[in-house]
């Protein structure tokens, strides 16, 4: 095939509707974040006898999200709604987001509706915020305690 054949269609010349949307909307970094964040969540959720398979689907009803927060914080959250309707799911996710906010964490542009709707970027952003608050900050606090103890 001639590289200069005017009849040949190059990928970048194809109309947008012909592009592989999954490839464009799901870059390698996002796949890596999904894999890493799912593993992190499961390392904690296993302590409660459960796990997630799909990070943007399994937190949509808020139940496993609330459980994750209980496991990593050691605190009880408000009682979850058990209904299957959207309003129940939004209520559960809001309870989780309110708990995160009560710990002094600002969730910029992350709302319950985005999580319930399975918005991948918002869900990953929320999990990253949780990791920063409950894992990395805890490491910093522990390092500070160890430094203080070594001075004594």
Query: 3-class secondary structure for 47-110?
Result: HHCCCCCCHHHHCCCCHHHHHHHHHHHCCCCCCCCCCCCHHHHHHHHHHHHHHHHHCCCCCCCC
Instruction: Tell me the CB-side half-sphere exposure of residue 87, using CA atoms within 13 A.
Output: 0
Condensed to tens digits (0 to 9), the pLDDT of residues 106-152 reads: 888 899 999 999 999 999 999 999 999 888 765 544 555 555 555 45
Looking at the predicted structure, is the pLDDT value of residue 40 above 70?
Answer: yes
How far is Cα 82 from Cα 123, in angstroms, rounded to an integer?
Answer: 21
Condensed to tens digits (0 to 9), the pLDDT of residues 50-60 reads: 999 999 999 99
pLDDT of residue 14: 43
How far is Cα 47 from Cα 58, in angstroms, rounded to an integer?
Answer: 17
pLDDT of residue 28: 84
Domain residue spans of the chain: 26-151
Looking at the predicted structure, is the pLDDT value of residue 22 above 60?
Answer: no
> Of 25 and 128, which is predicted with more confidence?
128
CA distances from 70 to 2, 22, 113, 144 (A): 62, 34, 21, 24
pTM, two decimals, is: 0.74
CATH code that applies to domain 26-151: 1.10.418.10
- SS3 of 32, please? helix
> Of 12 and 47, which is predicted with more confidence?
47
Condensed to tens digits (0 to 9), the pLDDT of residues 63-116 reads: 999 999 999 999 999 999 999 999 999 999 999 999 999 999 888 889 999 999
């Amino acid at each position: 095939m001639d590289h200069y054949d005017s009849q040949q269609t190059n990928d970048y010349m194809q109309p947008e509707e012909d592009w592989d949307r999954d490839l464009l909307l799901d870059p390698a970094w996002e796949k890596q974040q999904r894999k890493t964040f799912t593993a992190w969540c499961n390392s904690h959720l296993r302590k409660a006898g459960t796990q997630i398979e799909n990070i943007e689907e399994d937190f949509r009803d808020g139940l496993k999200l609330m459980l994750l927060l209980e496991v990593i914080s050691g605190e009880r959250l408000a009682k979850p709604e058990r209904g299957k309707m959207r309003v129940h799911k939004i209520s559960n996710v809001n309870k989780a987001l309110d708990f995160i906010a009560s710990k002094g964490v600002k969730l910029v542009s992350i709302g319950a509706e985005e999580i319930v709707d399975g918005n991948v970027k918002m869900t990953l952003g929320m999990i990253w915020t949780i990791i920063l608050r409950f894992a990395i900050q805890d490491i910093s606090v522990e390092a500070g305690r160890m430094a203080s103890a070594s001075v004594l």
